[in-house]
Amino acid sequence: MPQNKNFQKRITILDECFSSRTGFFTLEKLIDVVSEKLDLNVSRKTIQNDITYIRETIENKKSGEIDFDESPVFLSKIFDGKKKIFKYAHVNLSLGNQLLSKTDKEQLKETLAILSRYRNREDFFWLDEMFPRIQSAFNLVHEDYNGLISYQSNRDYSGESFVGEIHNQLLRKKILIIEYKGFRDESSYSRTIHPYHLKQYNNRWFLFGLEESDNYTGITNLALDRIITITETIDNITPNVTNWGDFFDQMIGVSFAANQKSIDLKLKFSLKRIPYVLTKPIHGDQRIDKTDPEKRTIIINLLPNNEMYQSILSFGSDVQVIEPLEVKARMKGITNTMNEYYN
């Protein structure tokens, strides 16, 4: 069947009509509903062809719960006067509930193949999570795939509700007024933000953008779980000039300070831990210290932040800070405090 630009819209509208448990739709009423929703005149022949397409599509996909050799897609012998009423014969019948056809799967695979070209770009980081989920949901891989991959997530994370809203606001490029309350703040306050970039780190989402205030104007980040409300203004944002790939290459995590200078962090690992550090680098700039004959020392050029210290502490006694002295001194202070907890 030839498919014009309104074909899928018509099919979706008709599918909703046939699934309705309360509405009754004759052919004439279907024509009126579709025409009204699309704001154009749809012919009787077009709707008849669409109905045929829906019936054949569902029959060909063979729902596992319904034998179409014995049961029709639509209820039969139901009329409004002399006019036949179109309604699915089963409550679970809907195009949205049907398995993908072979053609559907091939088209979806082709779409994923096109999107895969962007997986290594910083602004498309979400594709790495999306691909396995789609492949599993639509059975695009081996049937034993389900259960082979687990995803780290936090369903109770309160900032998740803002992700979709802010993503759309990033596309609209409008200045936002955000009511915000940090963990150390006694009360909330308004922040004027030019939104540029969303980033997920350690199961939390962060909005990066240009902040304008009396005390500071520059790039900042906001944790989505500390946002109370977002108001979109009619004003356009100042164009973004930051390369976010390069920006995040400077650090571990997401926190930073204005006018901060990078350091050369030198870490020496135990024999048992260094293989893991080499196969799963702490940071993209990580390199082996060529002056260490044991090849157990790495050097990373980065901006020091809380996430850097947390990363170092995660290795416990398997790591030693060699340089710089200020990082070594702070680690000594942290570990001394920890020792006091257990003495």
Domain boundary assignment for the chain: 7-99, 100-151, 158-246, 263-342
Instruction: Determine what percent of the chain is predicted with pLDDT higher than 90.
Output: 38
> Is residue 247's pLDDT more than 70?
yes
Per-residue pLDDT at 295 = 93
Phi-psi region of 75 (alpha: psi -120 to 50; beta: other; left: phi over 0): beta
Query: Two tokens at 193?
Result: 């933000």
Per-residue pLDDT at 57 = 77
Per-residue pLDDT at 66 = 46
Fill in the amino acid letter for 207: L
Per-residue pLDDT at 77 = 56
Per-residue pLDDT at 147 = 42
Query: Two tokens at 151?
Result: 């995803």
The Cα 308–Cα 282 span in angstroms is 9
Per-residue pLDDT at 246 = 86
Question: What is the arithmetic mean of pLDDT over 268-289?
Answer: 92
- Specify the range with the lowest mean pLDDT, choosing from 123-132, 203-212, 280-289: 123-132
Per-residue pLDDT at 26 = 86
pLDDT band at 149 (very low <50, low <70, confident <90, very high): very low
Q: Regarding predicted confidence, which is higher, 107 or 133?
A: 107
Per-residue pLDDT at 231 = 94
Instruction: Determine what percent of the chain is predicted with pLDDT higher than 70.
Output: 74
Averaged confidence pLDDT in the chain = 81
Per-residue pLDDT at 62 = 52
Per-residue pLDDT at 197 = 92
Question: What is the arithmetic mean of pLDDT over 286-314?
Answer: 93
Question: What is the arithmetic mean of pLDDT over 213-217?
Answer: 85
Question: For domain 158-246, which CATH number applies: 2.50.20, 3.30.950, 1.10.443, 2.30.30?
Answer: 2.30.30
Query: Two tokens at 92?
Result: 């679970």
Per-residue pLDDT at 154 = 61
Task: Mention the CATH class of domain 263-342.
Answer: alpha beta
Which candidate, 322, 222, 305, 202, places its Cα nearest to that of 261? 305
Question: What is the arithmetic mean of pLDDT over 115-130?
Answer: 61
The Cα 140–Cα 109 span in angstroms is 8
Is the pTM above the cut of 0.75? no
Residue 162 CA, distance from chain mean position: 12
- Specify the range with the lowest mean pLDDT, choosing from 16-25, 54-63, 286-295: 54-63
Question: What is the arithmetic mean of pLDDT over 250-273?
Answer: 91
Per-residue pLDDT at 294 = 92
DSSP-derived 3-state class of residue 96: helix
Q: Regarding predicted confidence, which is higher, 73 or 234?
A: 234
- Specify the range with the lowest mean pLDDT, choosing from 24-28, 196-200, 220-224: 24-28
For the chain, the distance separating the N- and C-terminal CA atoms, rounded to the nearest angstrom, is 78
> Is residue 329's pLDDT more than 80?
yes
Kindly report the CATH number that applies to the domain delimited by 7-99: 1.10.10
Question: What is the arithmetic mean of pLDDT over 212-223?
Answer: 89
Query: Two tokens at 35?
Result: 């025409």
The Cα 234–Cα 42 span in angstroms is 38
> Is residue 319's pLDDT more than 90?
yes
pLDDT tens track for 82-104: 778 888 777 666 666 555 666 66
Per-residue pLDDT at 215 = 84
Query: Two tokens at 303?
Result: 């901006």
